[in-house]
Amino acid sequence: MKKFKVGFVGAGAVTRLHLRGYSNHQDRVEVVAMCDPSEAVVNERADEFGVAGRFTDINEMIRSSGMEVAVVCTPSTIRQSVITPLLEAGIPVFVEKPFADTFGEADAIAKEAARLNVPVSVNQNFRKHNKFEFIRGLIQEGVVGKLEGIHFSSLFYRQDAGWRIHTERHAMSVMAIHWFDGIRRMANADAESIYCTAYSSEAVECIGETDATVQITFANGVKAHFTQSFSSPFVKSDLVILGSEGVINSSNEDINLYRKDPSGKPNWNPTPVQTWNAALPIEEAIFEGLNELLDWVETGKEASNSAYDNLHTVSLLDGAYLSAKNNKVISFNKGLL
């Protein structure tokens, strides 16, 4: 395998997760440069991880850093303006989620990348960190029979700081983007419609939404429902996959399979018939996302986390915001707005 020289655009807190993950794979990745408008932030992060190249101007970084791949960790509000010069320079991009704030921006980035034939992948690390891809495999193996429903609850308290709390799009862009991606991957079909209600709790300092409830209908008949809260001191994370022959539940590290009680009566304390553990540390999941891009660069085979694939995820995110704003069901054409 080739070893790639990687440069970071954006040096905020999320870069720590990337850098920790990449540090375990120095045979594959060499971080050669970091760029951020704040010289102090660049120096702080570069000193912490021993990165030599330090820039405050992206064009100078493109010219002088020697990077072969860019990792973009800027605020999503400026993604298109940052990714465009990288694409024009022919530099493949691994970009934080959501890779754009709106479907229109995401579509423009994906089309420009395709026009220039430059790979772009998105860091949807919860596919493996939160076990979505493993469960997707179980569903495809038929362990629950015909997939019928997906239910997910994610409740906790989170107070962000910085640019994110001043944007109109908050909790769903920060975390529900993971749930949209995982749910539509597990459903394994295009979304047909989405309905969302959302509000901003006074318990959290921000101008965007903190709490949301979402319902999605997929083309194969699967119905999905999830609730998310950034304002809850009570913590809950619970995924339930409903099938014609069984149920999968994951509320901790384990994935449990349940079958109907032979008596046909409700069983309030069921015992799982099979258990799996497929948790992956988030830093490793992030590296694996980057490595999918590197494999794409080497083989020419489009990665499963490509920008074009992720248009379906961003479409669900944008559709949810449109639904909440207008209080109506939003319909999709082949899974896209």
pLDDT, one tens digit per residue, over 148-198 is 999 999 999 999 999 999 999 999 999 999 999 999 999 999 999 999 999
How do beta strands 147-157 and 254-258 pair?
Answer: unpaired
Which amino acid is it at 167?
T
pLDDT of the residue at 228:
98
pLDDT of the residue at 262:
86
For the chain, which ranges sit under pLDDT 50? Answer: none
| Residues 248 and 212 grouped into a single domain | yes
Residue with tokens 């862009």: 173
Residues spanned by the domain of 50: 4-126+284-306
Is the dihedral angle over the CA atoms 170, 171, 175, 180 positive or is it negative?
Answer: negative
CATH (domain of 229): 3.30.360.10
| Residues 8 and 77 grouped into a single domain | yes
In a domain, residue 292? The reply is yes
CATH (domain of 120): 3.40.50.720
Beta carbons of 53 and 32 less than 8 angstroms apart: yes
- 0.85 exceeded by pTM: yes
pLDDT of the residue at 24:
94
| Residues 94 and 152 grouped into a single domain | no
In a domain, residue 336? The reply is no
In a domain, residue 337? The reply is no
Read off the pLDDT of residues 20-42 as tens digits, 9 standing for 90 and up: 999 999 999 999 999 999 999 99
| Residues 181 and 218 grouped into a single domain | yes
Tokens of residue 277, six digits: 């553990």
